[in-house]
């Protein structure tokens, strides 16, 4: 999403993204490449294309990240790309300060019901796409349990997508935009806090407990 104003090229919002569910070995290399291309390299390509104009007009660059950049609950491939976007933005934000260009990151919580970025999962479909090696390690019952778990998370997603849009608008128009806008429920923010500031062993314990429920 690009925005031209009377003062020239002002804003770029890198919003494109795809998501999927699956443990690390369940997904083929082609899927990893596709996700990196859309979620990470797509945003980088767009940013590089418009960077000369953004520097010229001292504009804004907004990236759509996620609280999933801090942890993962079955969608590590999505988490991986969002964590990479965060680091790209951290470097870009510092580099753009001398040009008067501001870089902002939006970190939504679970808005799956608003965006429909991730459809509900079919355990049968997941199983049918597993390699023979993975089928020898896992069984259909485990895949069904994981699918049910992830579907329950999707069903809890907020339908108030306007909250994320409001953060994007503020990032583009505020005289003093935030570097990061975390738009999430209190329990989601608490989980981010644990993952960001507690020892890894604590984070792993919390997430393992959540995955076992």
Parse the chain into domains and list their residue ranges. 11-212
- Per-residue pLDDT at 213: 65
Q: Which residue has the tokens 């494109």?
A: 16
Residue 183 to residues 27, 38, 62, 85: CA-CA distances in angstroms? Answer: 29, 23, 14, 17
* Contact present, 184 and 111 (Cβ < 8 Å): no
pLDDT > 70? residue 6? no
Residue 197 to residues 110, 185, 200, 201: CA-CA distances in angstroms? Answer: 21, 18, 9, 11
Give residue 120's pLDDT band: very low, low, confident or very high (50, 70, 90).
Answer: confident
Helices (H), 70-161: 76-96, 112-115, 123-129, 132-137, 140-155
Question: 36: part of which helix (H) or strand (E)?
Answer: none
pLDDT tens profile 65-98: 999 999 988 889 999 999 999 999 999 999 999 9
11-212 is classed CATH 3.40.50.880: no
Active site (catalytic) residues: 78
Give the separation between CA 137 and CA 130, rounded to whole angstroms: 11
* Contact present, 70 and 35 (Cβ < 8 Å): no
Cα 142-19-126 angle, rounded to 5 deg: 30
pLDDT > 90? residue 134? yes
DSSP class of residue 97 equals G
């Amino acid at each position: 999403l690009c925005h031209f104003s009377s003062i020239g090229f002002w804003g770029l919002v890198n919003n494109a993204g795809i998501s999927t569910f699956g443990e690390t070995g369940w997904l083929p290399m082609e899927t990893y490449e596709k996700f990196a291309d859309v979620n990470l390299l797509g945003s980088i390509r767009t940013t590089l294309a418009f960077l000369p104009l953004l520097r010229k007009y001292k504009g804004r660059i907004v990236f759509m990240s996620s609280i999933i950049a801090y942890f993962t609950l079955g969608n590590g491939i999505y988490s991986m790309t969002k964590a990479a976007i965060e680091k790209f933005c951290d470097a870009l934000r510092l580099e753009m300060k001398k040009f008067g260009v501001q870089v902002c990151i939006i970190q939504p919580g679970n808005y799956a019901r608003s965006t429909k970025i991730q459809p509900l999962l079919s355990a049968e479909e997941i199983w049918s796409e597993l390699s023979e090696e993975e089928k020898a390690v896992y069984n259909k019952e485990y895949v069904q349990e994981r699918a049910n778990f992830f579907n329950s998370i999707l069903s809890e997603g907020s339908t108030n997508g306007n909250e994320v849009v409001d953060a994007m608008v503020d990032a583009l128009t505020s005289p003093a935009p935030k570097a990061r806008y975390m738009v999430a429920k209190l329990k989601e923010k608490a989980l981010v806090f644990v993952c960001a500031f507690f020892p890894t062993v604590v984070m792993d314990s919390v997430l393992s407990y959540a995955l076992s429920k």
